[in-house]
A and B are shown apart, each in its own frame.
Chain A
Amino acid sequence: MSDAVWILGITMTKFGKHTDKDIADLASEAALGALVDGGVTMGEMGIMAFGNLMGGVSGQVVQKQIGQTGIPVYNVSNACATGATALRTVIMAIKAGEVDMGLAVGVEKLAGAGLLAGGTVGATPDVWEPSGRFGAVTPVDGRIGTETMPGVFAQIGQEYAYEHNVEADFKLFAQISEKNHAHSALNPLASYQKRFTLDEIMNDMMIAYPNTRPMCSANCDGAAAAVVVSDAKLKTLSLEQQRRAVKVSASILTTDPYEEACQVLPNVNTVTRLAAAQAYEQAGIGPSDLDLVELHDCFATAELVHYDNLGLCEPGGAVDFFKSGATWRDGSTPVNVSGGLESKGHPIAATGIANIWEICHHLRGEAGERQIEGAKAGLAHVIGLGSSCGVHILEKSGL
């Protein structure tokens, strides 16, 4: 296919606490790593897309460290889907024929950050004054439900249990976390590589029932970057570069289509289902063709619903699907063999490229101890609350 687009080089930094590196250092490390991995240079890039959600750093700052070549930088922001948005921006530029190679970078420094989102309740005001679109006289977080991420995603998981009348209880969600933490023991770049017992997970600090602390994504520092290349350009490169290149069979970004309740509780289901349907259509392959999936387990309660949303199981069948062992690394559809956001970590803007790196690593046969043998196709999924969904389907080079 002549209009195919390929990942030529890709890398992620170690996720964790980098006290001696700032945002530009981490982004530079990832970007330079991706260029070296692809066997190309900054001077060959025609476009750069960059994401750093919480730090407010721009791609230009990184260019000043690694190469000011005059190319445009698109600084993108799409909540937790920021990395996928940066990657998709570069892919679109290549598909549009404007450039034949580009660099996407996502970076975040979040180690030590506490609870994300949710308003702080201040002192009672001098005068109750209605403000904002709800005419609220004081911040409503905690008074009218919760705006905290653990609580929002806890409700998303519990809603699945109610809607489908299935037994998705505290223990089941904890078992999903148990799986991802077990997987992380094989990933040297994960923030946490510790295997937890089910008891340890269930008895850890409760954040928002049914999510305990190890069932929440880990705040950490990290960066990931990818070099994307057009099919025509790839054909001019070395056989080794062509062999290691990973085909982007689908690149999709959606926002949440309206459905009742979606403005009351964020709906991560509709947005994912829409992206998945478009991705499978574009790739011409289906869920059964996938050898591994990296999905957005920002909380253990979220992973369950995405088995269903991505079509990995029968509609309403996510609980039985998980209980069958399908999503463990030796199962029929390994999910989050990297350890997922719960243990690999979730440096927000890096996540949507780091999950692509994980898939590419396996498709290239370079994943070492955690290699999924013979992997030919994989899917990477990310959610940005608000909401956006990025889905990329990747396939091994036929060479």
Chain B
Amino acid sequence: MSKQVPLVDYLVLGDSPHLVANECTKCGARFFDRRSACASCSGTDFKKVDIGTEGTLRTFSIVSMAAPGIAVPFVASIIDVDGTSVRANVVNVTPDPEHVKLGMKVKLTTFPIGQDAEGTEAIGFGFEPVEVQ
């Protein structure tokens, strides 16, 4: 198997792929980016926490017009994973309002997005419906 890298550093690959957040040890606020300090309480101490792999579709848009090179239509969304909001595409679903519903249950999935010149494969993530449609 070729070497793999995650699309973003908060995606952990391996046997059970999942997302990981920086959690403020003082107030519990969670962030996915590299932090200077906490936006909620200005604390500077963080710990890594694993984010669950199942959640609820809190909002979405079916994007038909995007920058050049981006395949459309796709379903942009925010997933509520036990109180932590995650930005992701909803994948493995027909991208129309009959199939994408607010409040639907979704789960994390990963997939290859391409190989670089050295043959390394980048792995992206999305959330797919829990119930087979």
Contact = CB atoms under 8 A, between A and B. Distances in A.
B59 A158 contact: yes
A134 B29 contact: no
Contacts of A143: 7, 89, 113, 124
A155 B34 contact: no
Contacts of B13: none
A148 B114 contact: no
Given A121-B70, A146-B66, A151 B29 contact: no
B85 A264 contact: yes
Contacts of B63: 142, 146, 148, 150-151, 208-209
B7 A137 contact: yes
Give the size range of B's interface with the partner. Answer: 35 or more
Nearest to A260: B85
Interface residues of A, number: 51
Given A140-B8, A258-B40, A264-B86, A118 B76 contact: no
Q: Is the interface of A mostly helix, strand, loop or mixed?
A: loop
A121 B67 CA distance: 7
B67 A141 contact: yes
A261 B31 CA distance: 9
A143 B67 CA distance: 12
A118 B8 CA distance: 17
In this complex, the member of A151, A205, A207 whose beta carbon has the largest number of chain B beta carbons within 10 angstroms is A151
Contacts of A127: 116-118, 120
Interface of B: 5-10, 29-34, 39-40, 58-72, 74, 76-78, 83-89, 97, 102-103, 113-118, 120, 122, 124-125
Given A142-B67, A159-B78, A207-B65, 6 more contacts: A134-B33, A142-B74, A155-B77, A205-B65, A258-B29, A260-B85
23 contacts: A115-B67, A118-B66, A118-B70, A121-B68, A121-B70, A130-B5, A142-B72, A142-B74, A142-B89, A143-B89, A144-B8, A148-B66, A148-B67, A161-B102, A162-B59, A207-B65, A208-B64, A209-B61, A210-B61, A258-B40, A263-B31, A263-B32, A264-B32
